[in-house]
Structure 1
Amino acid sequence: MRHTGGEVRPTALPLQGDATSIERALLTLAVRDYPRDPAREQFARGIDQQREVVHEWWWRTPDPELAFTPVEPPQELVNRDAVEEFLRASKVRDMNGEALVVFITSHGIAGSSDTHFLRLPETDSKRLLATAVRTVDVVSAALDSHARNVLVIVNTCFAGNMAADLAAAHKEIRPDRRDNCQLDVLVTCGLKSKIEVTRFPTLLRAALERLRRTAGITTPYLSVPDFIAQYALGLRPEEEKKFKLHHLVQGGTLQPSVCLPNPGYVRLPELPGALAGHTPWAAEYWLDRASGRPHDQDSGWYFRGRESLNRTVADFLGPGTRRGVLLVTGCAGSGKSAVLARAVMLSDPEFRGDPLYKQIEDSSAAATIPGENPRCAALLARSLDAAQFAAGLVTALGLPLRPVGPTDDQVAVWSRQLLAHVEESDDPVTIVVDALDEAQEQSRIVSDVLGPLEPWCRVRVPGQRQDRPAGDTSPGLRLLISVRSSQPAHSAGSVAVEDDAGLLHTLRRLFPAALVERTDNPASKEDMKRYLSALITESAGEELVRAISPVVDAVWPSFIDARLAGYQLRNAPDPLALARDEEWHRTTLTQGIRGLLYRDLRIVENDGLHPRVALALLKASAYAKGQGVPWGEVWPAIAGVFLLPDQLEPQEWDTMIGKLLSGRLSGYLAQSIEDDRRVYRPAHEELAAELLRPDSDLPASGGDHD
């Protein structure tokens, strides 16, 4: 750092090596010292603020792979010669890297014609052509360089006046460059607008913070329209015309630009094995279900027991089984997803080799560990239509989707691709589908995607007629599917009576030889007790374990209720006292997920999150279509409907959402990705159903508090 004019500013960086070889360059042309300007110090301070936030966005980004190399003049730019020397020394016209961002800020002058000039400290207002710099000359140097992607941002008074000059210069750029490179120019002022020197950095920093926290954009780079939209959110109504960004040269694409690193991007590790075709956020779903953890910041693995069921699944996925169908079914919340997720995670050799999870394999009975199967494809069917379902299976198998013509049916094209892969594979293909009952277009998924696969699931039985497809020499296909069904009636000494209707019945008709395993049989009570004991504390004493039995009786067969109840016990000052609390049993546990939710809603008021606001946000997540609700402006807008007539200011909504996602209610939400946005939804369909009830409202205040 150095002092200049009484202000502290970052030290200017010298040109670094061969500027033409920089892959991502940030060239800053900032003129700050105007000795004859009466507002000299204020202007210089504003320029420093602009440079600081630009550096933070493009240079000091937390992800080094997205960072740009700064290129700045070694000394103040006081006249036209200094600017031209900087352009020559930086070799901007010859830059040939992946991306070039040019930020220009200074005083600006609108010429008597449609020309814009940069006013320098030694500029003579009566001799602009000789002593000022035509802004379009600096911009053209970048646009006509060899960089594959160029973004220029001009923040000066009257910058809109360069539109005509810039349009003419753009025509002179060689056609192949205009057609094949992304070239964008943004200006912050129109024809007659003057800048307020500190307003631009304020707006840019506000956009940066929104992208880090609330925008939820998950791509490593932003599109130019996204950048403009996030910037515009900070504009007051009276500023929209004066300070909005004008897109004078448009790159002609809505796709993300490598010139715009996303400050909110979180680089997650690539996924191995069965999850290789999924986004990292989708993998979190499988880990959540397999571990039974109460929220995604918890690294524990709490599910225990279910040895008989896990052994059946392990046998089905083992080397001795090459074909077949296994249907895992049970009532809502009874742990179907946990069984499938455990199999998916533990069949992955890289997951099993991770020291963080090696203990899971070591602590499980050997017969319950499926064989290593890195080719296993796993798909969560929730909210998918038939085309998305077929595409999801193809992608999960690591295959590029075949192109679909304008008259082609997507489902047919991708189902044929899936079938061809099964036929041509040298090894058995394993497909795991969770929550098939929560998919859209269930009938078409069964008939048009799963139906054609049925012959390749058939098992050859010695002595029986061969009814597999002619010429079938493939190793075959194993399908492991979870599907909800109503809990069968049980009576002493009798066999469970299955519900002969619904999707389970349809699947059994399609796959008559399928094995069926239930997750809601009475034996699962002991598994639930072991899960609760582990969730509360790995060293739960005998007295607490005994006290858990009535809790299990109250919430069985719902493992989702058990997880929520266990989290309340875990966070109670005295878990044993709460487990024995008759009022907790009567007003909370006996009401299922409704009682558990409303108890937590009353408690979060102690954390500064108003219960009515929290409930409104949860309801909004349940009413959102698709995979969930994005944060941004959408979540508060939907939640506001449930909070009428009361309302919050935008910043208050962001504070409340932050508390919701970081507090005890975070376990009621799951995250996903839709349209490159992070979205939030209820963690379970049973919870969503409760939030969607018309009479779902916060009970009267009172009850117990932690």
Structure 2
Amino acid sequence: MEVADSHSLVIVTVEDGDPEFAKAIEEQLSVVTAWWQTGPAPGQGFVQTILRSPEERHDVERFLHTSGIREATEDEALVVYITSHGAVGTSSRHFLLLPGTDRDRLLATGMPTNEIVIAALDSRARHVLVIVNACEAEGIDAELSLLTRDLARSRTAEGTLNVVATTATRSPVLGREFAVVLRMAFAWLQEAAGIARPHLTISEFIQALEHATERLNEERDLSLPGPRTVLHGKLSAPTPTLPNPGYRPKPQVVTRAREEVAATAEELEYWLDRASGRASRDDPGWYFSGRQDINRRLTSFVRGPAGVLIVTGTAASGKSAVLARAVTLSDCAFRASPRYAEAVSKASADSVPDEGSIHVAVSARNRGPLSLIEAIGTRMGCEPDRTQPATDPVRQWQEGLRAFFTTCRETCQETRRETCQGICREDIVTVVVDGLDESADAVACIRDVLVPVVAFAGGPGGTGRIPIPAQTSGLPTALPLPAHRGLRLLIGVRSTSPGTPEAAVATGLRGLLQELLAVFPAAQVVRTDGEGVQADIAAYAAALLAGAAWGNDPAVVTAAAQSVACHVGRSFLDARLAAEQLRRGDGAALLGDPLWLSQLDRGTVGLFEQDLDRVTDDGLNREEALALLRATAFGLGRGIPWAQVWPAVAEELLSARIDHADEKIRRLLGGRLAGYLTHDVEDDHVVYRPAHERLGAMLRRWPQQPKATRGMKGTRGADESG
């Protein structure tokens, strides 16, 4: 993505003496100058130059000379906005109508619109945007298509030259209407469009204008055709002439190699807040001090020799959370931040991984073997082995990883200095793969991604072959090549809890945990749902409830947290949902309500039904809110984008139109159901998905079976199993 060193906004407005048209122009300018706004300091934002109310053609020509449009420099992003009455002559040329224009003498007294347009396009600026809002603005097309032939070839090949006309042939100028269209497009891009980069493409800009025009037509019973491009450069190339109103720089908590698994800035800020369970500045907060036994085991592992550690447990028992904590606390950028340093320093030293001890962390969610091995390889600074068949990219990456582990460090440093982030200097590399059970093909990921690196996880030298059991026949065996570095591998995977009815049913079936233990027979296993989990959940719930309006008495909070822990089994997810309901309402009343406790016994489903029944408090219809939530559970990849896709999927599930869908999504994200969702970024767009795969599975299966047929009070139904 190109970044311009300077930005200029040039505005030409031509009034006709009508006070109403003058007001319409002012409304347009208020939006235009807000979109292409000046910066807080010199050299930032757009330098705005405005020609107001020229009387005759010479005024415009003099402005073109004095404003420096034609002399715009190569590294300048140039935006020109023109608003005026206009007309197309019999020669198919378009003219701006000035106060002194004689319609019978357009050539002499009118201002040829394309002279302004070409002044910008034929400047040296690589990135140019011209918006023409005039009567019959589309009429500039015929002449402009001829004039642009005289532009240097490099102008159209290297830059982004875009011209937008707001009106069609024989259509009047859009006064207040275009101000409304711009304002609606601006608001839509701020939120619903969900574009996560600083600049838009011309396609995205036109899409926003079209969306706004459709809304305006619907609201005012109009039939405006909407703006269109009469000249466009690269349709999918972000351009610095189109700042994105919705861009919010994402706080960089950890380095890229670890960010898929690490905690988000929002999560960390929550736990740093005093209202989230910090008794004093000496208290590091639950995130940094909770689940001590498990965190100590992970810390000990990443300080030790090469090997494999599997973090497993039932759904929602905190597998991803403990891995995220380890990944986050090991990151150099995180540790260097003054914002987090104090809390880390007060955490128990034997539960905090050494700085830089985890090198790569990726999520297997919705990934197949190629996507997963590529994610690991690129973050390690590896390259695929192009000597292998191009038809087998997985094999290319397998050999690339094998070369990484078997190449001496000195050679590796020379060849990968720019991409490996210093990983190639390590004796042992630590890799985290979380969410293996959420992979698109978990068994293939084990076979094609994990098995080929088995040999390097066998010890500091990694030279011994770990035998592949007979049950995994057909899997590629790891060759006992001489290794120059070892591998510590941490894997997060869901499993049933030993001794439960679900585990008994699964007897004889090869679950993912058993597949992993067959490949890594010497692996350490850490269960997040084992002995002591109820005490961990009680401490977690107490931290969540400490900021409640009724939670001033620590004894009351402790009792409430213990009550929650007794009812939610091994589920941290259910503990969080229950705590949110207690914080919102009268905690004492709910804890004494047998109906609420019976719903809590039913787990995620029971808690969700309670929130769903009260969604009208947020101004939402129950069925529409349910459809909007369910839609996020069917998204592929990292989630579902908001703009147009989310409402369309929800309407399909509901089998009915959802009026004002964007506003209802906005209320959903700001209401009691927001805790059931999380967001991410994929392909430069913000996407939404259920906050946990357990929620996703529940929403995909909805509606649930009738309440009367579910488990008795005190039991957790089959839909709550791991």
Q: CA deviation at 1:168?
A: 0.9
Deviation string 1:574-624 (CA, Å, 9 cap, x unpaired) is x344334333212x1111100111112223323333333322221121133
Equivalent position to 2:496, from 476, 486, 494:
486
1:379 partnered with 2:362: yes
Cross-structure match for 2:674: 666
Work out the CA distance in 2 between the residues paired with 1:392 and 1:64: 41
Which residue, 613, 623, 630 being the options, matches 1:602? 613
Paired residue for 2:546, among 528, 537, 547?
537
8 Å Cα contact 1:108-1:157 kept in structure 2: yes
**In structure 2, C-alpha distance between the alignment counterparts of 1:602 and 1:445, rounded to whole Å:** 41
- Alignment pair present for 1:572 and 2:585: yes
Cα deviation code 1:375-431 (max 9, x no counterpart): 621112211222322232234446788999995444334444444444442202221
Instruction: Give the secondary structure class of the aligned counterpart of 2:168.
Output: coil
CA contact (8 A) 2:166 2:227 kept: yes
CA–CA distance in 1 between the matches of 2:200 and 2:319? Answer: 38
Kindly indicate whether residue 70 of structure 2 is the aligned counterpart of residue 57 of structure 1.
no
> How many Å separate the matches in 1 of 2:179 and 2:578?
48
Task: Return closer, same or farther for 1:602/1:272 CA change in 2, 3 Å cut-off.
Answer: same
**Residue of structure 1 in register with 2:13 after alignment:** 30
Q: Which residue identity is paired with 2:597?
A: H
Match of 1:634 among 634, 645, 650: 645
Deviations 1:348-383 (A, max 9, x none): 243234444345424432211111117621112211
| Counterparts of 1:248 and 1:406, CA distance in 2 | 45
State the shift of 1:502 in Å: 1.4
Q: Secondary structure at the match of 2:197?
A: coil
Task: Output the CA distance in 1 between the equivalents of 2:192 and 2:122.
Answer: 36
Q: Is contact 1:672-1:680 (8 Å) kept?
A: yes
- DSSP-derived class of the 1:93 partner: coil
Greater displacement, 63-72 / 620-629: 63-72
The residue number in structure 2 matching 1:475 is 485
CA distance, structure 2, for counterparts of residue 263 and residue 674 of structure 1: 18
| Equivalent in 677, 682, 694 of residue 685 of structure 2 | 677
**CA–CA distance in structure 2, aligned partners of residues 278 and 544 of structure 1:** 34
Change (3 A) 1:117 1:572: same
Equivalence for 2:511: 502
* 1:680 partner SS: strand
2:566 to 535, 553, 565: 553
Deviation at 1:568, TM superposition (A): 1.9
Aligned equivalent of 2:62: 85
Which residue matches 1:616?
627
Q: Aligned residue for 2:445? A: 445
CA distance in 1, matches of 2:480, 2:631: 53
- 2:253–2:333 Cα contact (<8 Å) kept: no
For each residue in 1:309-359, what CA deviation from the matched residue of structure 2 results, as whole angstroms up to 9, or x when unmatched?
A: 2111001112xx241111101111111111101101111243234444345
Q: Describe the shift of the 1:698–1:513 C-alpha distance in structure 2 as closer, same or farther (beyond 3 A).
A: same
What's the CA shift for 1:564? 1.1
Question: Quick one: distance in 2 between partners of 1:152 and 1:83?
Answer: 16
Letter paired with 2:575? A
Tell me by how many angstroms 1:544 deviates.
Answer: 4.2
Letter in 2 for 1:655: E
Secondary structure of 1:29 counterpart: strand
Higher mean Cα deviation, 245-254 or 374-383? 374-383
Consecutive unaligned residues in structure 1, runs of 5 or more: 1-20, 492-496, 701-706
In the TM superposition, what is the alpha-carbon distance from 1:475 to its structure 2 partner? 2.7
Alignment equivalent of 1:581, drawn from 582, 593, 614: 593
Conserved? CA contact 1:489–1:498, under 8 Å: no
Q: Tell whether the 8 Å contact from 1:124 to 1:132 is kept in structure 2 after alignment.
A: yes
| C-alpha deviation, 1:136, in angstroms | 1.4
Match of 1:153 among 127, 131, 152: 131
Q: CA deviation at 1:86?
A: 0.7
* Inter-partner Cα distance in structure 1 for 2:526 and 2:101: 83
- State the shift of 1:549 in Å: 3.1
After TM superposition, list the pairs within 5 Å mapping 1:8-19 onto structure 2. none
Q: What's the CA shift for 1:465?
A: 9.3
Q: Check if 1:123 corresponds to 2:135.
A: no
Distance 1:697 1:29 in 2: 65
Cα distance, 1:488 vs structure 2: 0.6
| 1:228-268 alpha-carbon deviations (Å, 9 max, x no partner) | 11111122469997442221112033122221111011112
- Mapped partners of 2:637, 2:453: distance in 1: 27
Q: Which residue of structure 1 lines up, in the alignment, with residue 377 of structure 2?
A: 394
Cα distance between partner residues in 2 of 1:81 and 1:666: 59
Asked if the contact 1:287/1:341 (under 8 Å) is kept, the reply is no
User: Which residue does 2:425 correspond to in 1?
Assistant: 426
Alpha-carbon distance in 1 for matches of 2:116, 2:624 = 51
Q: Is structure 2 residue 691 aligned with structure 1 residue 688?
A: no
Between 160-169 and 419-428, the greater mean CA deviation after superposition: 419-428
Shift of 1:298: 7.4
TM-score (structure 1 length as normaliser): 0.85
Between the aligned partners of 1:152 and 1:242, the Cα distance in structure 2 is 20
Between 501-510 and 203-212, the greater mean CA deviation after superposition: 501-510
Range moving further from structure 2, 88-97 or 232-241:
232-241
TM-score, structure 2 length as denominator? 0.83
Distance 1:490 1:640 in 2: 39
Is structure 2 residue 258 aligned with structure 1 residue 246? no
**CA shift digits 1:421-469 (9 cap, x unpaired):** 4444220222111111101122332222222222221115999999996
Match of 1:95 among 51, 65, 72: 72
What is the deviation of 1:269?
2.8
CA 1:342–1:388 in 2, change beyond 3 Å: closer, same or farther?
A: same
Distance 2:369 2:150 in 1: 49
SS in 1 for 2:333: helix
SS in 2 for 1:72: strand
SS at match of 2:425: coil
What is the SS of the residue equivalent to 1:549?
helix
> Structure 1 residue 208 and structure 2 residue 186: aligned?
yes
CA contact (8 A) 1:612 1:698 kept: no
Give the corresponding residue for 2:282.
none
- Counterpart CA distance in 2 for 1:277 and 1:54 is 40
Unaligned stretches of 5+ residues in structure 2: 279-284, 407-411, 413-423, 468-477, 709-722
Q: How far apart are 1:512 and its partner, in Å?
A: 2.2
Letter in 1 for 2:621: H
Is the aligned partner of 1:184 residue 2:191?
no
Q: Return the offset for 1:45.
A: 1.3
Residue type matched to 1:475 in 2? R
CA distance in 2, matches of 1:203, 1:462: 63
Q: What SS does the aligned partner of 1:222 have?
A: coil
Deviates more, 1:622-631 or 1:214-223: 622-631
Q: Which residue of 2 aligns with 1:454?
A: 454
Query: SS of 1:623's equivalent?
Result: coil
- In the TM superposition, 1:95-114 aligns within 5 A as 95-96=72-73, 97-114=75-92
SS at match of 1:235: helix
Cα distance in 1 for residues equivalent to 2:265 and 2:379: 14
- The CA distance in 2 between the partners of 1:216 and 1:63, in whole Å, is 27
Which residue is equivalent to 2:22?
Answer: 44
Q: Which amino acid aligns with 2:580?
A: Y
CA distance in 1 between counterparts of 2:675 and 2:320 reads: 16
Give the direction of change, closer, same or farther, for the CA distance of 1:527–1:155 in structure 2 (3 Å limit).
same
Q: Distance in 2 between matches of 1:175 and 1:223?
A: 21
Q: Would you say the 8 A contact 1:673–1:679 is kept in 2?
A: yes
SS for the counterpart of 2:103 is coil
Q: 57-66 vs 576-585, which deviates more?
A: 57-66
Q: Contact 1:100/1:147 (CA < 8 Å) preserved in 2? A: yes
Q: Is residue 562 from structure 1 mapped to residue 561 from structure 2 by the alignment?
A: no
8 Å Cα contact 2:27-2:176 kept in structure 1: yes
Q: Does 1:308 align with 2:331?
A: no
